[in-house]
Amino acid sequence: MIENQIDITLESLVGEVSKMKSDGQRMVTFSCTNIGEGQADIIYHFDKNEVLTNLRLTVNMDKPVPSISGVYFAALLIENELQDQFDIKFDGLVLDFGRKLYLDDEITIVPMCNNTKAMKIKK
Amino acid sequence: MARTIIPFGPQHPVLPEPLHVKLVVEDEIVLEAIPALGYVHRGLEKLAEIRDYHQMIQVVERVCGICSNIHSMCYCQGIEEIMGIEVPRRAEYLRTAWSELHRMHSHLLWLGLFADAFGFEALFMQFWRIRERIMDINEATTGSRVITSVNIVGGVRQDLTPEMCSWILSELDTAEKEIKEIQNTIMDDYTVCHRTKGVGVLTKEQAYELGAAGPTLRGSGVASDMRLLKYSAFDKIDFEPIVETAGDCWARSTVRFRETLQSVDLVRQALAGMPQGDLAAPCKGNPEGEIITRVEQPRGECLYYIKGSGKKFLDRVRIRTPTFANVPPLLAMLPNCELADVPVIILSIDPCISCTER
């Protein structure tokens, strides 16, 4: 149901994102979803004249993903957020908070990828 | 002169929300700014695991109090699109009217805070006095001043009677007159211009490349506004994005000021064009599929990515709020400014840490 979607791979990621930049696309954000079996979907959203183009990348969460913060500086906060929430590593991040953008040192769980419920339901 | 690092925030008198920026300064000139987030992060997206998709409306409303109505509108639009629900036209007009009222009170709140940031307390009180009219409208029509909880999947839960509509229009006439009376002060006053013109400049290219959103983007000359996507009743409402080209704090505040008056017009159009009909369409089953939906909040473009797999709990709700997008542009505005201008520049993006730390 997502329109204007292009499937990409780890190898083609930076090239495709650079193409988006050359095309004058504004980077909106990326969305990440845990799809199970150690994999996640990352969808990179770009906008031009109110039309959204989405690059979909499926990654193994234990494998580093090339950072696009060298192409779009604004990606640095989103990539740091994904490091905190999904424990996905990004290679070449221009400003790496080292999984401490949101989390404290003592937090070892991966908030969006484990079975710990957000809070206990009161009975 | 040796370089010094000055911590701005997380607790700071000009910004009641905890945003921390490390400022590298030489003399009193800022050379570099490094942000730190996470002081009040709430993990609301994670709550989708234990709150069903109807309950999530109340959760997304609490991402931000000031634009709560528009958050729930965006979320409901997404769910409706996944489930193929056709929202009644009357409900779409009501949503549009309430969302513009929300924009008005948000902008008036910010204009007041902005005036307060450079010590103009009388102006701050004037803006907040006018804002009270809008809050009263919210309270009278929805039962709540801030978190209105009127949007549901399929439509809205409250209606407006003809008497309410005429009272809202008369209140808006008064508010519009009062806003215009202080137009010269916020846009032309010597002190205000001195503190804002040429301060915190973000060029059109920088704004676009750094992914700025909302008045921060439009204040730099880019005519981008998600209302152009014609969601809800915006397909039948005359609307042009408000754009300023200077890219400084003055331009961003002027965009917001002009949008306040524009919202008065949009509410009038929504109430005038509102047809009779149902308030909500029935909602059966659970969402299955994924969707990206975008709306224009007072602070800018808001994006929701929603994924469901036919269960009552959604697989993923991802929320990209406008302040989160405006942090990188802020880092481009701060270098080479004077230390005294930092609070004004930070406020000029209308930072909402509640949104950012969702």
Chain A residues whose CB is inside 8 A of the B81 CB are: 1
Going by pLDDT thresholds of 50, 70 and 90, the confidence category of residue A116 is low
Q: Where are the alpha helices (DSSP H) in B44-161?
A: 55-61, 68-83, 89-117, 121-142
Residue pLDDT, tens place only, A46-93: 999 999 999 999 999 889 999 999 999 999 999 999 998 888 999 999
Chain B residues whose CB is inside 8 A of the A73 CB are: 209-210, 328
**pLDDT mean over B10-15:** 80
Rounded to a whole number of angstroms, the distance from the CA of A11 to the nearest CA of chain B is: 23
Laid out side by side, the sheet with B300-309 consists of: B288-297, B300-309, B316-320
Distances (CA, A) of B162 to A2, A89, B138, B165, B275: 40, 57, 16, 5, 12
Pairwise CB contact (< 8 Å): A101 & B318: no
Chain B residues whose CB is inside 8 A of the A29 CB are: 211, 303, 320, 324-325
Distances (CA, A) of B219 to B114, B116, B134, B225, B259: 16, 21, 25, 12, 12
Q: What is the pLDDT of residue A31?
A: 93
**Strand pairing report for A90-91 and A65-66:** parallel
Scanning every residue of chain A, which has its alpha carbon at the shortest distance from the alpha carbon of B214?
A28
CB B356 within 8 A of CB A105: no
**pLDDT mean over B208-213:** 92
**Residue A9: CB atoms within 10 Å:** 10
Task: Name the nearest CA neighbour of B356 among B14, B7, B21.
Answer: B21
Scanning every residue of chain B, which has its alpha carbon at the shortest distance from the alpha carbon of A22?
B209
- Half-sphere exposure of B234 toward its Cβ, with a 13 Å CA cutoff? 18
- Residue A122 DSSP code: P
Q: What is the pLDDT of residue B11?
A: 84
Q: Taking a contact as any Cβ pair under 8 Å apart, which residues of chain A between 21 and 50 contact chain B?
A: 21, 24, 26-29, 31-34, 43, 45, 47, 50
Assess whether pLDDT exceeds 70 at residue B73.
yes
* Distance, CA of B290 to CA of A65 (rounded, Å): 23
**pLDDT mean over B157-172:** 95
Residue B308 phi/psi, 5° resolution? -130, 155
* Distance, CA of B299 to CA of B349 (rounded, Å): 8
Partner B contacted by A77 (CB < 8 A):
yes
CB B91 within 8 A of CB B157: no
Q: What is the pLDDT of residue A122?
A: 63
Q: Taking a contact as any Cβ pair under 8 Å apart, which residues of chain A between 94 and 123 contact chain B?
A: 95, 100-103, 111-112, 117-119, 121
* SS3 assignment, position B74: helix
* Distance, CA of A22 to CA of A20 (rounded, Å): 5
Pairwise CB contact (< 8 Å): A103 & B38: yes
Token pair recorded at residue B178: 């009062």
Pairwise CB contact (< 8 Å): B209 & A43: no
Assess whether pLDDT exceeds 90 at residue A110.
no
Distances (CA, A) of B55 to A62, A63, B59, B134, B354: 33, 35, 7, 27, 19
Token pair recorded at residue B22: 């490390």
Q: What is the pLDDT of residue B2?
A: 79
Assess whether pLDDT exceeds 70 at residue A115.
no
